[in-house]
Structure 1
Amino acid sequence: MDETLNSSEPQPSDDPMDEAEPLPSLSKSQNPKPTSDTDSDSDDSDSGDESQQTLQIETLETELSNNPVNYDSHVQYIRVLRKKGDIEKLRKAREAMSELFPLSPAMWQEWAKDETSLSSGPESFPAIEKLYERGVYNYLSVSLWCDYLNFVQEHDPSVRECSAVGILKARNLFERALPGAGLHVAEGHKIWEAYREFEQAIFFAIDETDVEGREKQVQRIRSIFHRQLSVPHSDLRPTLLAYKAWEAEQGNVLDASSSDLDGISAHVASAYQKALEMLNARVHFEEQISKKDIPDMERLQEYMAYLKFEQSFGDPARVQILYERAVTEFPISNDLWLDYTRYLDKTLKASSIVREAYSRATKNCPWIGELWVRYLLCLERGRAPEKEIAAAFEKSLLCTFSSFDEYLDIFLTRVDGLRRRIARAGEVGDALDYTLIRETFQRASDYLSPHLKGTDGLLRMHSYWARLESNLGKDLVAARGVWESLLKISGSMLEAWQGYIVMEIETGYINEARSLYRRCYSKRFPGTGSEDICHSWLRFEREFGTLEDLDHAIQKVTPRLEELQMFRLQQENKSIGTMANQRETLSKKIAREKRKQRPNIADEQRTTKRKKDIDPNITKATYEDLRAFFSDVGGVVAIRILKDKYTGKSRGLAYVDFSDDVHLTAALAKNKQMFLNKKLSIARSDPKQRRMRESVGRNTPMEHGEMSGHTNGQTNTVGESDSKDSSDVSNATLAAQPQSAYRRHAVENVQLKGKNTFAVPRNVRPLGWTDKNKQKTEEAPEGEDQTPKSNDEFRKMFLKS
């Protein structure tokens, strides 16, 4: 939770002005004249202080005008105004600060005491009482509650005179304080004692002749004692002694000086024993959180451990009070507020307590978007009026969040609530118009689009918006306008086009969807998006279009796919070239390291012998060399140099796959051309099957040709191995293969058999295939030898040519 305590927002102090001097006199009629030098010096000093205060006030007013959310400036401004005694400005300054920040309990106490000292008449009582109410709402403070209770007893005429109305008012106020402050383990006993003293004062005010009234009051005081003895608090044992002493005053025989439970009713003794056990179980935690000499982070961790312990007992009231104590100590810990409100959502659901907690949480940590989102949901869950929800939403937009996604989440949460409210319009009286949703979306788009350009969040918002325009607003034109506005912002997002197309298809507007495909198929999208949209168009036409539509799509898509394939190959070549350079650099480095070592004489002799056996004019052919050789032809899809599986050396053969027959024919025209100082022989791998495939059409199994480079024109067959190893380019065998627009990648490493299964894996059988002719053997056409040729035989065939 480090980030929660290091927030840019300042943490309110518990007593920022606790040591401030009493409010000075505000009488303006007194203007004594100096009668001596001493008086004159004193007057000059006061005048100097006043001038300094005035200058400081003006400086702080300028700072707050430029930055109204500067917490420290507000505190200093209030302190200086209080010292100067400018009551009107002081009131306005406190009100202004309370609108932006929750004031600490000490600040509320000081404010209420200042107002009390200025005017204690009955006319000022309601305003001061309201200040106390606002204070106890913000934070849990036993001290503030005690001040509030004392103020009511001293300044409310009805309470002071012990009238029936006044007594009822005071009792209700005490009962309000008990569920919160009265359960405070460390200080709660102060509220109970004040309650007992109030009732005791009423007892003494009852006439002695009113026996029934006095007895009723005794029972009331006894009940308060019993209730207090059943609550774990730090003053539990002294409370027991006070109770026994009080019972003795009522004529009951009890040992008031003993802390045992003799003479106390069984149910009171049992409740007290249980409360004592609970207190003992919490003493250690109370000691840990009350330490003042440890860092705040450590104290917060102690609170979290205490909360975990309290939650294990399953008493929501005690858990809630401990959370209130924690947030009073750490008011800007966003993790603490999130944890607290999450607990309330789970246990209390839509009660007013939850709503008030969220209101205070967003005021203490306004920079946390998740708190605002959950606050809006809490208001909706509690069926709050639209006016209250709208106010909370507008207030959230004035806050500063760490990311634009938080603003997006708030906007979408607002739209969710409006949509649900419109959907249940028959259940509520304040039915809403759809235009409110449209306006909310438009505000979100205007604000977020420049910052979320090309992101999934912006796509999600516009997709949601378009769907509501179509389904809830019943306006397809407006829905299309939403998609068009997104394309202007994020037209390079494939998902934006796909979402638009899906909407048109789902609504049955096929021609409009086709028009979108025509607009976007030639655009460049990240990754494989460009290929994906082309194939998507072809699938669309197969499912929805006519044959003419399909042919038109193929005509448009095929050149685009070829262009994209060439681009991919260029990128791949760059990558391969970079890797080759790295390998070459590494090999040179290794060679240099070897040369540094002392050579072995026998190794030198063997090396010399090998060099004599090798033709100095022979060079190795690489993938780059072959690709460069066919660069003027184009259409190269893949190159495969066959290598021995045991030695890893070249077999002297290579296959080259081409994208179509046009490129393949151009490649065959390069037969007998020079390649690395050698003549290169180029041929198809199965020329006997070409005529048959051409008669069937371009969707038949792909043609496969091969080319061999050698001075004598030797070639090899596909799938055969050569026991001889060769690193000479003159032994390299090349293969060429046309591919249709539907299939971009060549099938490699497949076993081939027979004429019509060429380039088809053995485990793939055509639709409707049967094995009726399984026992029949195919007869070779007259004059053709179907016996597979070895590499040597294939080379001899080329030698004859």
Structure 2
Amino acid sequence: MASLSQMDENIPVGDEEEKMEIMEASKTTKNGDSDDSDSDSGDEDQKNEEKESSINALNKEISQNPYMYDNHTERIKLLREIGDLNRLRDARQEMSTHFPLTEELWLDWLRDEITLVATASDRSKVEELFEKAFQDYLSVPVWLEYVQFAIGRMAEEEGIQKVREAFERALASVGLHVSQGANIWEAYREFESAVTAGLMPQPGAVVSAEQEEAFKTQNQRVVSLFKRQLVVPLLDMQSTMDEYKEWLGEDSVDSETQASFDKAHHVLKDIQQFEDQLISTSGSEQLKSYQDLITHEQRKKEPARVVCAFERALKDHCLVAELWQQYTAYLDKLNSGQQIKSGYERALRNCPWSSQLWVNYLLALERQGTEFVKMKEVADKALQVGFSEASDYLSMWSAYCDYLKRRIDWSQDHTEQLETFRLTMEAAVDFMFENYGKDGDPEGRLRQFWAYIEAKFCKNQERSREIWNQLMQEGHGAEAGMWLQYYQLERMFGDNKHCRKILQRALNSVTDWPESITQAYINFEREEGDLEQFDVALARSQAQLSRIEERRAKAAEKDAVIQDHKKKERTDRKAQKKQQQPDTNSTQQSSQNAGNKPGKRKLEQGAAGDFNEAAESVNKRGEPPSKKAKPEAVEKSDASENHGETVQHDPSKDNVTVFISNLDFSLEVDRLKEIFHKCGEITDIRLVSNYKGKSKGFGYVEFSDSNSVLQALRLDREFIDGRPMFVSRCEDRSSVKSGPQFKYATRLEKNKLFIKGLPFTITQEAIETIFKEHGKLKDVRMVTYRNGRPKGIAYVEYENESCATQAVLKADGLQVGEHTISVAISNPPERKTPLSTRMDPFTARTPSLGGGKKETDFRGKARTQVSLVPRALRQQPQPGSSAKVASQKTEQKSSASSSASSGSASAMSNDDFRKMLLKK
């Protein structure tokens, strides 16, 4: 379209009238455009104000919680739209300190900064940005941007050489990338071809010998690049060969180049299937394809290609901790110092929640001879990450304490190092017990290790005994295995006196495997004692075994009697049902009359006793009664009055006993035997009964060994006759120092989803069908009431975090029947968090510890409070009164305090309430 000046020049000189008309029309158009421009400017200002408001809100949220990935990306987007480069640079810098940036984010940042380069200082800053980008992920586009930026330095001294160095770095990093590496090779060849074209003489010019030599040398560089590329298996490498032949002007190439090309082409055919799968799949299927490719490359034993395959996989699946573990383990084998350190730092930047990565990093640093200050810094950082399981903390503490032990040089002065070790061991033991109780270190690994070091290296057997005694007093006294380890340590570094004492204590305490203790005791006296001591060991051992056999026989006899009694009752009931033909109407009437007699209800409640109520309340919690409740005494009292069966509980057998509750009252012992038979040998099942002899829905299952208890605990929450059965350890909760125990995690679980709003009729199979489309499922758990009816809530656990993240994006807001479900990453609040301070689970965000885009909404606990106002007092809204709701609420709030303080005469008494509730 021609400009006005051009139009003016094209008008004939004599046609002044037409010229004036055109200028007038132009002026009108300009005025109209001006009005539109003012209007657009006003709209633009309003939009910018809205964006500024959004940016300020995001700044506030990020300052409170910097681990919100989406807040950072949204702020960067808004700042880029309004063009505030200074604040945009600061926002990007802040995000990069907390998260690794994606390829797209780096390219936007780099291109914005490149346009602002004016001085050598600016160029140096951009180059530093490129170095940071290289540390996050392997990206061919970022390397292409780098070499293009380097080409801009050709005018400098040695500029061409600097460009070649940039290209060589790019080839070393991404030149083996099968699907995208050819882009770097082609860019390199185009650059060298351009240099070659610049050396060609002008037509008709006389070429000197120096020019001829320079041209040949440069031409040889291009040929060399072709040959280097043709030995690398890259997609569409046949076209590169055709281009090389065209460059040479020949139909064939030398035999050496052809042989190298054929070999590379054969390698490409072997991996072509994996490349096709990577292109056609995504999510967990793509990750499996990457794993297959990595396995294939590892068989070929070409480290550079293996590393490239790992880097490609990690770029697309950066939140899979297992993949980072495989990569860092491979780097450990290569034994490349700086590469190992860089690999672990990148891994922990993406997956800081993986305790195994932290442990492996400590070991890698120790192999490299890293100084103590750095090792302590890494360990402290790991312990502050916030692992989800006690086992993660235990692994981390164990790894760090192992390092501190190896750090001690026992042949020199080691006072300081030994003190550091002891203080750290004490801190580790206290941390695990205070936060997780006995479940934090169930086998006492930390204290066993500590006691061994004190005994062997420090020659401090007294301290070693103190540590072991504390360990045995915290719930391990009935375990034969623990006593035998204590005895072996004393046998190696102690004396016979204490060995004998340990075995005698164990003989009177062990309940899970007493035969092992008696055998060890007898063997010890055979080897170390005299005849009198040997006779004492035999007598004590035989007496203890006799008592144990007697208890077992009584338990078996009692069990047989109970089973016979139950069987007889069942037979009698069946016989009575056959003989009787009850009248349905009379039976219903009599039951109604019986239910209306308050005196009878009082009698039943009084006969049950206070413990009946206490036991039932305990049964609701799913926990065994504490020793304070003294269930044995109460049950004995009931038995003496022939109100029910006697249930005697032996606290010394708690380690081989589980407490079961929330059972159906009709569930019998035979059914329980069928359920727990797969866990191990059962020695006794004791169901607690009421004064009528009917089950109260809870009891004890005793096994022959403690390993069976571990198997039985896995049956917790399993549905038995339509009700979830609660299974827990049998222990005195009042004497346990640890806080309340909970079966499930109370911290962020990135591979688990929390779903609410489900239909109450939905089945577990239906939930699995919906969510297995997004990845491989590990577990699906529906939350139910105590009677087994669903609450409309469920948990879905995937094998990795990436599948869970994808499921949140695709399933949140999904319509299931007539219900719209809500899906979020599982992140329960701390159990001690006051209900008033808990945030709404689907509106508040939670810190994200990994890299990449996150959808990490967290959920809180649902409110369970209900209104205690009687229905008769609740005001039902009248039709057409919705417009008055706001004003009524305001009046109620304003008058509430004054009426409460003055104690007005209109306040209703208890009698008024009673009369109102008795109205028909």
Shorter-chain TM-score range: 0.5 to 0.7
The farther-off stretch of 409-418 and 541-550 is 541-550
SS of 1:176's equivalent in the other structure is helix
CA gap of 1:501–1:281, structure 2 versus 1, over 3 A, is closer
Give the match for residue 360 of structure 1.
346
Q: Distance in 2 between matches of 1:472 and 1:124?
A: 59
CA contact (8 A) 1:425 1:432 kept: no
CA gap of 1:247–1:447, structure 2 versus 1, over 3 A, is same
Give the match for residue 798 of structure 2.
none
Report the alpha carbon displacement of residue 132 of structure 1 after superposing the two structures with TM. 0.9
Residue of 313, 316, 319 corresponding to 2:303: 316
CA gap of 1:373–1:44, structure 2 versus 1, over 3 A, is same
SS of 2:471's equivalent in the other structure is helix
Give the match for residue 398 of structure 1.
384
Q: Distance in 1 between matches of 2:296 and 2:476?
A: 54
CA gap of 1:83–1:519, structure 2 versus 1, over 3 A, is farther
What is the 5 A alignment of 1:500-519? 500-514=486-500, 516=502
CA contact (8 A) 1:64 1:70 kept: yes
CA gap of 1:491–1:241, structure 2 versus 1, over 3 A, is closer
Residue of 170, 191, 195 corresponding to 1:198: 191
Q: Distance in 1 between matches of 2:415 and 2:230?
A: 52
Q: Which amino acid aligns with 1:160?
A: M
CA gap of 1:198–1:404, structure 2 versus 1, over 3 A, is same
Is 1:277 aligned with 2:262?
no
Residue of 107, 111, 114 corresponding to 1:113: 111
Give the match for residue 818 of structure 2.
none
Is 1:126 aligned with 2:124?
yes
Give the match for residue 394 of structure 2.
408
Give the match for residue 213 of structure 1.
214
CA gap of 1:280–1:528, structure 2 versus 1, over 3 A, is closer
Residue of 451, 454, 461 corresponding to 1:466: 451
Q: Distance in 2 between matches of 1:92 and 1:508?
A: 64
Q: Which amino acid aligns with 1:436?
A: T
Q: Distance in 1 between matches of 2:411 and 2:163?
A: 44
The farther-off stretch of 187-196 and 570-579 is 570-579
Give the match for residue 168 of structure 2.
175
Report the alpha carbon displacement of residue 178 of structure 1 after superposing the two structures with TM. 1.3
Report the alpha carbon displacement of residue 384 of structure 1 after superposing the two structures with TM. 4.0
Q: Which amino acid aligns with 1:320?
A: V
SS of 1:449's equivalent in the other structure is helix
Structure ranking higher on relative contact order (CA contacts 8 Å, 6+ apart): 2
Q: Which amino acid aligns with 2:446?
A: M
Q: Distance in 1 between matches of 2:172 and 2:122?
A: 29
Residue of 275, 282, 286 corresponding to 1:286: 275
CA gap of 1:68–1:518, structure 2 versus 1, over 3 A, is farther
With structure 2 as the length reference, what TM-score do the two structures score?
Answer: 0.52
Report the alpha carbon displacement of residue 316 of structure 1 after superposing the two structures with TM. 2.8
SS of 2:175's equivalent in the other structure is helix
Is 1:327 aligned with 2:320?
no
Report the alpha carbon displacement of residue 111 of structure 1 after superposing the two structures with TM. 1.8
CA contact (8 A) 2:358 2:382 kept: yes
The farther-off stretch of 37-46 and 94-103 is 37-46
Report the alpha carbon displacement of residue 560 of structure 1 after superposing the two structures with TM. 6.8
Q: Distance in 2 between matches of 1:446 and 1:58?
A: 44
CA gap of 1:456–1:399, structure 2 versus 1, over 3 A, is closer
What is the 5 A alignment of 1:454-533? 458-487=443-472, 489-492=474-477, 494=479, 495-514=481-500, 516=502, 522-523=508-509, 525-528=510-513
Q: Distance in 1 between matches of 2:492 and 2:265?
A: 69
With structure 1 as the length reference, what TM-score do the two structures score?
Answer: 0.59
Q: Distance in 1 between matches of 2:336 and 2:538?
A: 59
SS of 2:403's equivalent in the other structure is helix
SS of 2:438's equivalent in the other structure is coil
Deviations 1:219-243 (A, max 9, x none): 2222111101221212423322332
CA gap of 1:376–1:266, structure 2 versus 1, over 3 A, is same
Give the match for residue 180 of structure 2.
187
Q: Distance in 1 between matches of 2:146 and 2:353?
A: 32
The farther-off stretch of 555-564 and 362-371 is 555-564
Report the alpha carbon displacement of residue 43 of structure 1 after superposing the two structures with TM. 5.5
Q: Distance in 2 between matches of 1:57 and 1:549?
A: 84
Report the alpha carbon displacement of residue 463 of structure 1 after superposing the two structures with TM. 0.9
Q: Distance in 1 between matches of 2:65 and 2:540?
A: 60
Give the match for residue 56 of structure 1.
54
Q: Distance in 2 between matches of 1:51 and 1:526?
A: 75
Q: Which amino acid aligns with 1:93?
A: A
CA gap of 1:80–1:562, structure 2 versus 1, over 3 A, is farther
CA gap of 1:351–1:457, structure 2 versus 1, over 3 A, is farther
CA contact (8 A) 1:376 1:392 kept: yes
Q: Which amino acid aligns with 1:445?
A: V
CA contact (8 A) 2:433 2:441 kept: no
Report the alpha carbon displacement of residue 146 of structure 1 after superposing the two structures with TM. 0.3
Q: Which amino acid aligns with 1:214?
A: F
CA contact (8 A) 2:455 2:493 kept: no
Report the alpha carbon displacement of residue 130 of structure 1 after superposing the two structures with TM. 1.4
SS of 1:178's equivalent in the other structure is helix
Q: Which amino acid aligns with 1:78?
A: I
Aligned residue-pair number: 538
What is the 5 A alignment of 1:344-743? 344-346=331-333, 348-422=334-408, 433-450=417-434, 451=436, 453=438, 458-487=443-472, 489-492=474-477, 494=479, 495-514=481-500, 516=502, 522-523=508-509, 525-528=510-513, 544=528, 567-585=551-569
CA gap of 1:108–1:537, structure 2 versus 1, over 3 A, is same
Report the alpha carbon displacement of residue 114 of structure 1 after superposing the two structures with TM. 2.3
CA gap of 1:296–1:534, structure 2 versus 1, over 3 A, is same
CA gap of 1:224–1:462, structure 2 versus 1, over 3 A, is same
Report the alpha carbon displacement of residue 272 of structure 1 after superposing the two structures with TM. 1.9
CA gap of 1:447–1:86, structure 2 versus 1, over 3 A, is farther
CA gap of 1:500–1:59, structure 2 versus 1, over 3 A, is farther
Deviations 1:757-797 (A, max 9, x none): xxxxxxxxxxxxxxxxxxxxxxxxxxxxxxxxxxxxxxxxx
**Runs of 5+ consecutive residues of structure 1 not aligned to the other structure:** 1-34, 249-253, 256-261, 597-801
Q: Distance in 1 between matches of 2:87 and 2:505?
A: 65
Q: Distance in 2 between matches of 1:435 and 1:168?
A: 57
Report the alpha carbon displacement of residue 192 of structure 1 after superposing the two structures with TM. 1.0
Give the match for residue 757 of structure 1.
none
Is 1:241 aligned with 2:242?
yes
Q: Distance in 1 between matches of 2:39 and 2:562?
A: 87
CA contact (8 A) 1:452 1:458 kept: no
The farther-off stretch of 379-388 and 321-330 is 379-388
Give the match for residue 256 of structure 2.
267
Deviations 1:500-526 (A, max 9, x none): 444333223344445556766654x55
Deviations 1:576-632 (A, max 9, x none): 233223443565588789999xxxxxxxxxxxxxxxxxxxxxxxxxxxxxxxxxxxx
Give the match for residue 95 of structure 1.
93
CA gap of 1:456–1:535, structure 2 versus 1, over 3 A, is farther
SS of 2:365's equivalent in the other structure is helix
Q: Which amino acid aligns with 1:470?
A: A
Q: Which amino acid aligns with 1:464?
A: F
CA contact (8 A) 2:456 2:493 kept: no
SS of 1:453's equivalent in the other structure is helix
CA gap of 1:306–1:515, structure 2 versus 1, over 3 A, is closer
Q: Distance in 2 between matches of 1:344 and 1:505?
A: 43
Q: Which amino acid aligns with 2:556?
A: E
Deviations 1:244-284 (A, max 9, x none): 33334xxxxx25xxxxxx2x211112212222333344334
CA gap of 1:499–1:80, structure 2 versus 1, over 3 A, is farther
CA contact (8 A) 2:391 2:440 kept: no
Report the alpha carbon displacement of residue 113 of structure 1 after superposing the two structures with TM. 1.9
Deviations 1:180-234 (A, max 9, x none): 3111122111111222233334445559643333332222222111101221212
More helix per residue: 1 or 2?
2
Q: Distance in 2 between matches of 1:432 and 1:168?
A: 54
CA contact (8 A) 1:483 1:496 kept: no
> Which protein is bigger by CA-based radius of gyration?
1
Give the match for residue 764 of structure 1.
none
